[in-house]
Chain A
């Protein structure tokens, strides 16, 4: 087991309003979320001395403009003018989960005491994923000429392989979409709070990239979420009950850029990250009380459930049936609604929900007696990270 388990904790969390249109600059969303997270902890902004994020715009073919389409560490530093800032970082290889892990490492190293991690997501005007204009350079030269644009299509091809090799039926995915939308009704911050989704809606919805219909894809939104991390000793003196970090992992498998559709790459990415997390925490999938698994595209949940070890390969769509992933089921899943419910904010919201469930702070969606709380914070192929939070340190 990891000698540093339960030495770092998640304290406060914060959310901006999630909107479909980018009518407020992204920097304002990020600032709102960060201020709310600091206030939720009962801290002053001047207490914050560490900053970490993953400032990326997943929409292809749009300009990255700091404060408008991304919110970098520099942008946040300029807005907050923190008098005690002592550490900051932006990560590249591991998405927002990696930024959070770096904040954990910095806290363990003692180079900061209260770190804020945020993820701000922009919804550009026009088509979200644009193919290259006239020319396809770099990795896209082998994919864009055939109509492959965004990551969803790359994930769709692996999903057909999964479905047909395992003799499975995409209609079973309706259970995931409908259950998560039910959970969404307990999350007032979510984009789809107040909007129901039925099995019939799912089955009748238009195809985007087969096997993905509209409700297999998270909706692009403008919004931000943030979290305060600190050492366990300090967290115990703050307002909210801490969620202790029991272990984490990151994907150790690398896929060559432009090589798309490999199902085994999803599995190797996910299992390498989860293996580290199980070993460091000492838990196994059977010990988990509640799970958040990244669902930007629904099939990510399949790859997650199977590669993390919750069920066998080829069985995930059967595993999620019969109430298992309901709030009172054996494995309550994406209890905040997931990205399919909140809108596309990437994995920091999964991490936040994992922490809230572990500390008993999830309100009307709280899973009863939840202690061991698992998070898979992004699609396991490229940027996968995994976490376990607990309410009771051990």
Chain B
């Protein structure tokens, strides 16, 4: 299993569009940008709704359960900070309640060979420092609804 204890991750720098996402994560809540006109969730945050082009967008809580949309297994150790975790699974997750919004993460607490397209995952929070808490994923423990 990948050893993440020695990995120093690059720390996200929130900006005007992404600040609400990171503030919610710090509170332990996953909030994504949602179009107030058509109800579409999207991620990463953007200036307009990528579905209906409306500009009234608010961050709203969304359930952190979904499926692996795609993944890669990282073997390359060009960046030495991640070397102790190699090989590790970096995954892209599509949440059940936010189709089309794609969240990146690592598959934690599992062998990298467990990463497969379509496999059920749930979100967990990984605190990086006092300001930034990172959404991450592990294999789903609760049965799918």
Q: Give the B-binding residues of A (Cβ under 8 A).
A: 127-149, 153, 156-161, 164-165, 206-212, 256-263
Residues of B within 8 A of A132 (CB): 10
Let me know if B12 and A160 touch, CB within 8 A.
no
- Give B12-32 interface residues, CB cut-off 8 Å to A: 12-15, 18
For the complex of A and B, the 4 pairs showing the least CB-CB separation, nearest first, are: A141-B12, A210-B73, A261-B92, A156-B72
Q: Which of A140, A211, A262 has the most CB of B within 10 A?
A: A262
Residues of B within 8 A of A142 (CB): 12, 18, 43-44, 103-104
Q: Give the A-binding residues of B (Cβ under 8 A).
A: 9-15, 18, 42-44, 46, 50, 69-76, 78-79, 81-82, 85, 87-88, 90-92, 102-106, 116-118, 128, 134
Let me know if A209 and B44 touch, CB within 8 A.
no
Residues of A within 8 A of B118 (CB): 164
Q: With A141-B13, A145-B11 in contact, is A259–B102 under 8 Å at CB?
A: yes
Let me know if B11 and A209 touch, CB within 8 A.
no
How many angstroms between the C-alpha atoms of A149 and B79 in the bound complex? Answer: 9
Let me know if B11 and A259 touch, CB within 8 A.
no
Residues of B within 8 A of A259 (CB): 43-44, 102
How many angstroms between the C-alpha atoms of A261 and B44 in the bound complex? Answer: 13
Nearest chain-A residue to B85 (Cβ)? Answer: A147
Let me know if B134 and A145 touch, CB within 8 A.
yes
Distance of A49 from chain B, by nearest CB (Å): 40
Let me know if A256 and B74 touch, CB within 8 A.
no
How many angstroms between the C-alpha atoms of A211 and B71 in the bound complex? Answer: 9
Residues of B within 8 A of A206 (CB): 75
Other than the given A145-B10, A159-B72, A261-B69, 18 more pairs (CB < 8 A) read A128-B78, A129-B78, A137-B13, A141-B13, A141-B14, A142-B18, A144-B10, A146-B9, A146-B90, A146-B106, A164-B116, A209-B73, A209-B75, A210-B87, A258-B44, A260-B102, A260-B104, A261-B70
Distance of B76 from chain A, by nearest CB (Å): 5
Let me know if A148 and B78 touch, CB within 8 A.
no
Residues of A within 8 A of B79 (CB): 127, 130-131, 147, 149
Complex A-B: 19 CB contacts under 8 Å? A131-B81, A131-B82, A133-B10, A142-B43, A144-B9, A146-B9, A147-B90, A156-B72, A157-B92, A161-B117, A165-B117, A206-B75, A208-B75, A209-B72, A209-B75, A210-B73, A259-B44, A261-B102, A261-B104
Residues of A within 8 A of B11 (CB): 134-136, 145
Let me know if A164 and B117 touch, CB within 8 A.
yes
How many angstroms between the C-alpha atoms of A259 and B70 in the bound complex? Answer: 12
Let me know if A147 and B44 touch, CB within 8 A.
no
Let me know if B81 and A141 touch, CB within 8 A.
no
Residues of B within 8 A of A147 (CB): 74, 79, 82, 85, 88, 90, 106
Residues of A within 8 A of B12 (CB): 135-136, 141-142, 145
Residues of A within 8 A of B85 (CB): 147
How many angstroms between the C-alpha atoms of A377 and B70 in the bound complex? Answer: 25
Nearest chain-A residue to B126 (Cβ)? Answer: A145
Residues of A within 8 A of B15 (CB): 137-138, 141
Let me know if A207 and B10 touch, CB within 8 A.
no
Residues of A within 8 A of B92 (CB): 157, 260-261
Nearest chain-B residue to A212 (Cβ)? Answer: B72
Nearest chain-B residue to A158 (Cβ)? Answer: B70
Residues of B within 8 A of A159 (CB): 72
Distance of B69 from chain A, by nearest CB (Å): 6
How many angstroms between the C-alpha atoms of A262 and B15 in the bound complex? Answer: 24
Distance of B112 from chain A, by nearest CB (Å): 9
Residues of A within 8 A of B50 (CB): 256
Q: With A127-B78, A131-B81, A138-B15 in contact, is A143–B104 under 8 Å at CB?
A: yes
Residues of B within 8 A of A129 (CB): 78
Let me know if B104 and A208 touch, CB within 8 A.
no
Q: With A136-B10, A146-B106, A259-B102 in contact, is A207–B73 under 8 Å at CB?
A: yes
Let me know if B104 and A148 touch, CB within 8 A.
yes
Residues of A within 8 A of B116 (CB): 164
How many angstroms between the C-alpha atoms of A139 and B13 in the bound complex? Answer: 10
Residues of B within 8 A of A160 (CB): 70-72, 117
